[in-house]
Amino acid sequence: MRKGKYLIIWPDSGLSTKNNHVNAPYHFIHLGEVVNYLNKKLDNSVDVLDIEASQTEFPSFMKQTIDNEYDSVALFLNSENLYNGLKLVEFVKVINPKCKVIGYGEMPLYLPKFFKTTQFDAIVDKNCDQELAILDYFKYGKQENNDKLHDVLLINNNQLIRTPKKEGLDPREWGLSSKEEVPIDKYLEMEGKNQYVMTLSRGCPYGCKYCNATSYYGTCERRRNIGSIINFINENDYDYYKFFSPNFTLNKKEALKLCKAIIMNGKPIKWSCTTRPDLLDDEELIKAMAMAGCYKIAIGIESISNKDLESIDKRYDSEVIAKGINMLKKYGIEYKALVMFGVPNQTKDSILYTIEFLKDMGLTIRPTAYTPFYEMNHNMTAEQISRYDKRTYYDGIDNLSYGDFLRLIYDTENYERILKKE
C-alpha cells in the first residue's frame, strides 16, 4: 500500500505582515513544532510550503501540487492570510479533487461557521492541541468511518460535525522546529537576529477577549519538560532564545525550577519571554531569571490609563505596572512594554499619558492596534475579515485621524508631533 502524502501550507499574508519580525515566532510554533511532531507519528514525512517566509512563487506551488498527489493538506490561517489561503485551496481541489483539506489557526478558532461554505473539508476545533487534530485527520480523514477522529470539525453539506475531544498532548511530546523540516534561516531573517523560538507553555486562565491564547489550548497551563529544554540548549548555539508562553511567570514554582536548571547547566544563554504586569511580584524569581540569562521580558500592559484598563477588564492598575518596571530595572532586565492603541473609549489624552509615562521610565514601547476579533462574524467576506489586522485596525478615536493613528503605531518616537499638534 502506498504511503500517505501530506502537505502543510502557510499562505502568504498581506502587505502589513509579510516578512514581519513580529510574525516570525508563530512560524516556529504553529508550523515548525507541528511538523516536527507529525513527522514522528506518520508513515511518511510531511512536505512544507511556507509561502510567507520563503516567498514561494505561485508556479512553484502549482508544480509541487501537480507533482505530488497529496492525500491530505493542512493550511494555517489567520486574518491576514485567509483570502490567499482560500484561493490556494481552490487550486489544490482543482488539481486533485480527492485531496482532503483541513484548516487550523486563528480563523478556524474565531469563525468556524465561516468555513461551512468554503472548499475546506474540515477545520481544527478550539481548545485542543492542533497537531493531534491534524495527525488524526491526516491518518483517518479519507475513511468513511470517522470514529477515530478527534478535535476536528468536519464540514459536510454546509454543516459542521463535531468529533470527540481527546486528552491533551503530553508536553514531553511537543515538537521542536528543525532546520531539516522548516526554513528556520528564513525565520531568523524575519526576526532580525539569531533567535530560536520554542514553546514553553500552553494554556492561559485569563481569557482576554482580544487574545487567542485560551482559544488555542484552553485555560489549564501545561509546561514543556525542563530536561528537554536544557538538552536542546546544550546541542545548539543560538545567540538568543525566546521562550514562547502566554505568561512565563504564571507558575512561579516551575519558572524558578527552569531558571535554576539553566544556571546549574553552566552554559550561558540569553533569552526572553512574555508575561503580565501583575505576575511580576516575586523578587526571588526575577533575580533568578536575570542570573539565568533573561535579558528582556515583553509585558502586555496595554495602557497606563486606569480607565483604559477597566474598559478591557484588566485586573491590575498603573501602580502595579510601575512596581513591575522598577523590579526589572533592579535586576537589569529590559521591560518591553506591549501597548494597544484604540481600546474601547480611549482618548488622545490617555494615549499621550501612556506614552509619556513609559518614555519617562526609559522603556521600549511596542504598539499594536486594539483588534476586536470577537466582533468578526461568519457572514463577512475574506476581504472584510482581513481588516482585523492588529497592525492596521482602526475603529475611530475622537480628534485622531486614521493617518495619525497609523503614525502613532509606526512612528511612535514622534508621538508629540502627532498628539500635541493644534
Q: What pLDDT, on the 0 to 100 scale, is given for residue 21?
A: 67
- 3 confidence band (pLDDT: 50, 70, 90): confident
Residue 35: all three cell numbers together? 511538523
User: What are the respective helix, strand and coil percentages of the chain, to the nearest 5?
Assistant: 40, 20, 40
With H, G, I as helix, E, B as strand and everything else as coil, classify residue 274.
Answer: strand
φ and ψ at residue 250, rounded to 5 degrees: -65, -50
Between CA 231 and CA 244 the distance in angstroms is 17
DSSP string computed for 68-102: S--SEEEEE--TTTHHHHHHHHHHHHHH-TT-EEE
pLDDT > 90? residue 273: yes
- Residue 413's contacts (CB-CB under 8 Å, 6 or more residues apart) are none
Q: Cell numbers 461568519 correspond to what residue? A: 378
pLDDT > 60? residue 1: no
Interior angle at CA 230, CA 249 and CA 217, nearest 5: 45
Residue 303 CB burial class (10 angstroms; 0-12, 13-18, ≥19):
buried
Query: What domains are there in the chain, each with its CATH number?
Result: 6-162 (3.40.50.2300), 193-419 (3.20.20.70)
pTM of the model: 0.95
Cα 4 from chain centroid (whole Å): 29
- Residue 323's contacts (CB-CB under 8 Å, 6 or more residues apart) are 280, 281
Q: What pLDDT, on the 0 to 100 scale, is given for residue 422?
A: 60
Pairing of strands 364-369, 334-341: parallel
Residue 368: all three cell numbers together? 499594536
Q: What is the mean pLDDT of the chain?
A: 94
> CB atoms < 10 A from the CB of 418, how many?
21
Q: What is the mean pLDDT of residues 289-304?
A: 96
If phi over 0 gives left and psi between -120 and 50 gives alpha, with beta otherwise, what is residue 260? alpha
Closest to 381 (Cα-Cα) out of 74, 86, 161: 86
- 146 confidence band (pLDDT: 50, 70, 90): confident
Q: Cell numbers 520563503 correspond to what residue? A: 54
Dump pLDDT digits (tens) for 373-395: 999 999 999 999 999 999 999 99
CA atoms within 13 A on the CB side of 253: 0
- 144 confidence band (pLDDT: 50, 70, 90): low
Q: What is the mean pLDDT of residues 37-62?
A: 94
Between CA 73 and CA 102 the distance in angstroms is 6
Residue 264 CB burial class (10 angstroms; 0-12, 13-18, ≥19):
exposed
Dump pLDDT digits (tens) for 343-377: 999 999 999 999 999 999 999 899 999 999 999 99
Give the DSSP H or E segment for 364.
strand 364-369
